[in-house]
Chain A
Amino acid sequence: MDIVLQQLVNGLTLGSVYGLIAIGYTMVYGIIGMINFAHGDVYMVSAYITAIAIALLTFFGIESFPIIIIGTLFLTVAVTGAYGWVIERIAYRPLRNSSRLSVLISAIGMSLILQNYVQLSQGANQQGVPTLLTGAIRFTVGDGFVQITYMKLLILFISLLGMGVLTYVIQKTKLGRMCRATQQDRKMASILGIDTDKVISTVFVIGAMMAALAGVLITLDYGAFDFYVGFIIGIKAFTAAVLGGIGSLPGAMLGGLILGLSEALFAGLISSDYKDVFSFSLLVLILIVRPSGLLGKPEVEKV
């Protein structure tokens, strides 16, 4: 019983982070109908920037935890957002009118570039960050206990905050209205005076920023990362986006939570060696059974 509860707690935090990354996939897919294959590697870049920001801040003699975490979040989100913008500008914008296959191949190329670029500049070794936040709340359940670390609470809080802010921006602001209009009908939106290229860039930046939030949180929690972490977590976040219905913002968050919870339960109760196999199989199954996901609309192909 305590294992189930503990895995539920772990799954909830993991799932909220998957949700954050899935937002990048789902928004980009919704607006230009492509899978941003390099998104996982944007996350990986943000993990490195997190470690670099922490190293820089401690170098300048800052010791207090709140300032470090806020400074790291700010720096990482800003720089990763710039990465998102540049990636779109270089690899995707010149291909706006090309076939989907070309765009996808270009995205795969971008993913390889990012991985190798980070590997070349930072070395292939695993890197780490110091543990900044320790301590936990413990509940006794039956014979065992369930432990919720403060870090996990922080992850939950920040990711919910991020999702909340994003939902507000998309639903209530002018920028959000422009995004939604472009998503519904790009040509019509541009006729009505929306600079759709700019909106698409903004969506990439937002996606990268959300991935950066996830990058900071996961890196602080796990402590270790290398240049290859983006690949697996990218596919998982994509699974989450598909599970919730690709193109749907609440779907991405819901999908992330469901995937995180089921993966944690699978790892805790059945086998942790095969948890990645489980996630990939889940992805294949959803795409076969219900490709439109939980909250997505079925896609109708038109001539």
Chain B
Amino acid sequence: MSQVVGINFKKSSIDALVAGFLALILFGPIVGVLLDGYEFDAEFGRVAWMVAVVVVGRFVMSCFFQTEKGVAMSFKYANHDEGAKVLSPGHKSKMVWIIPLVIVVGLLVPFIASKYVLTVVILGLIYVLLGLGLNIVVGLAGLLDLGFVGFYAIGAYGLALGYENLGLGFWSMLPIAAILAAFAGAILGFPVLRMHGDYLAIVTLGFGEIIRLILTNWASFTHGPNGISAPLPTLFGLEFKRRSKDGDTFHEFFNLPYDSAYKYMFIYLVLFAVVWAVLFVKHRLVKMPIGRAWEALREDEIACRSLGLNHVLVKLSAFMLGASTGGLAGVFFATYQGFVNPSSFTFFESALILAIVVLGGMGSTLGVVIAAFCLTVLPEVLREFAEYRVLMFGILMVVMMIWKPRGIVRVTRTGFAARKGVVK
């Protein structure tokens, strides 16, 4: 046989036909028969084109994986395990130039952007914060937390309820909410962190749902599904309302005309500062022994325990730090919306934050920031495809896991050079 690489079209056709037949079985009832009360409307056109797409797609795929390139690709995906990319010891990061630029641009945003753009960017930054928090837990420590939204809810409700019951404002609740969320993380984490990864995922999922159900059902305290209003931040006691019961408002003090965009500008600037602070802390933590311990534990728990790492404490620290970041994000979310209700804290939200972390590259800070903006800003831009959003997230998650399980931005780390005079 001289034919080394050739496409077996017969095999591809059979593959395509089988796929088409399966697609017919799958899509036939669900897509083709639209329920309408106890009757139905037949929508066979939709089925026909979906099956056609599957047949053609399968045929093209089958042909492609028989070419030389396809074989190489499938081999690569079957054996992928790219770890962190190690840079040479003397590597100078370009970030030194990029970071000041981003900060300057970021500080200019509230003054040039319209109010609508500003609200979208604030939402994006809140998700950056959430992504960074979950990234510590999932990306660095390798603990799959599906109830992250619970900590987010604790932060948001902390602000709203703290204001209503204790009269605490934004600035006092910001640290308190972070501490509260960290405590909730510790209470949940301490017993469950001994468990094996998948169980942890389900327990945290249960925890997130318990928080949501309590928020919904304990109406006398949380006002149930109706929600509760949250206060705005103040600038040294100056409020951002049109008029204030006590003291001056912001625009009166500075003799400016009232504009509702001021409060968003202020929230943006505070949030921007907090995001940078979290980025800085996280950047440093990763290089500290605790950060190394997280990653080591993620890669091989048994080896770490045999080397004497206290795995529960190491995991707990990651869990609490992640939770407190989630709490911070919750406070910002509440003050940005001015109102919180339990429907903002469903499992879908947890899945969205997880998608941010997975997509960005687990453990990669830059990746998480990019992914958070993509996943929050894109749905705003592509309004007409809004209903396909969840579908897209799901497909992205599956495809990313098969194609690039380490995310779009790979973790990099600077290598160490052997000191001069050391015997090799």
Is the CB–CB distance between B34 and A121 below 8 Å?
Answer: yes
Give bound CA distance, A103 to B201, whole Å: 12
With contact pairs A118-B30, A122-B34 given, residues A104 and B198 touching in the complex (Cβ less than 8 Å) = yes
Interchain CB contact under 8 A, A277 and B210: yes
When distances are taken between beta carbons in the complex, the residues of chain A under 8 Å from B206 are 235, 280-281, 283-284
With A34-B198, A55-B33, A82-B26: A98-B397 Cβ-Cβ less than 8 Å = no
Main secondary structure of the interface of B (DSSP, over half): helix
Could you tell me which residues of chain B, from 139 to 182, have a CB within 8 Å of some CB in chain A?
142, 144, 146
A91 touches B398 (CB 8 A): yes
Residues of A within 8 Å of B146, CB to CB, are: 108
Give the residue name and chain of the A residue nearest to B28 (CB): A79
Q: Is the CB of A45 within 8 A of B213?
A: no
Q: Indicate whether B38 reaches chain A with its CB closer than 8 angstroms.
A: yes
Binds B, one of A13-21, A127-135, A173-181, A259-267: A127-135
The answer to whether A86 has its CB under 8 Å from any CB of chain B is: yes
- Is B31's CB under 8 angstroms from A121's CB? yes
Contact A35 B391 (CB under 8 A): no
The interface on chain B, measured as residues whose beta carbon lies within 8 A of the other chain's beta carbons, has a size of 60
Q: Is the C-beta of A48 less than 8 angstroms from some C-beta in chain B?
A: yes
Query: Is residue A10 within 8 Å, beta carbon to beta carbon, of the partner chain?
Result: no
B124 within 8 A of A: no
Which residues of B pack against A, CB within 8 Å? 22, 25-26, 28-31, 33-35, 37-40, 46, 77-78, 138, 142, 144, 146, 191-192, 195-199, 201-203, 205-207, 209-210, 213-214, 217, 302-303, 347-348, 351, 354-355, 358, 387-388, 390-391, 393-398, 401-402, 405
Interface residues on A, range: 35 or more
Q: From residue 77 to 95 of chain A, which have CB atoms closer than 8 A to chain B?
A: 78-79, 82-83, 85-86, 90-91, 94-95
Q: Nearest-CB distance from B263 to chain A (Å)?
A: 34
Interface 9-residue window, one of A109-117, A151-159, A184-192:
A109-117
CA distance A114 to B31 in the complex (A): 12
Contacts of B303 in A (CB 8 A): 303
Residues of A near B199 (CB, < 8 A) are: 242, 287, 291
Among residues of B, the one whose C-beta sits closest to the C-beta of A129 is B38
Can you name the residue of chain A whose Cβ is closest to the Cβ of B31? A121
**CB distance A283 to B203 under 8 Å?**
yes
The answer, among B191, B390, B405, for a CB contact under 8 Å with A115, is B390
Task: Using A86-B22, A121-B46 as known contacts, say yes or no to A288 and B202 having CB atoms under 8 A apart.
Answer: no
Which listed residue (A101, A283, A291) contacts B142, Cβ 8 A? A101
| CB within 8 Å for A284 and B207 given contacts A116-B391, A274-B213 | yes
Nearest CB in chain B to that of A113: its residue: B394
B30 touches A82 (CB 8 A): no
Which among B29, B191, B198 is the interface contact of A53 at CB below 8 angstroms?
A: B29
Q: Is the beta-carbon distance between B38 and A130 smaller than 8 angstroms?
A: yes
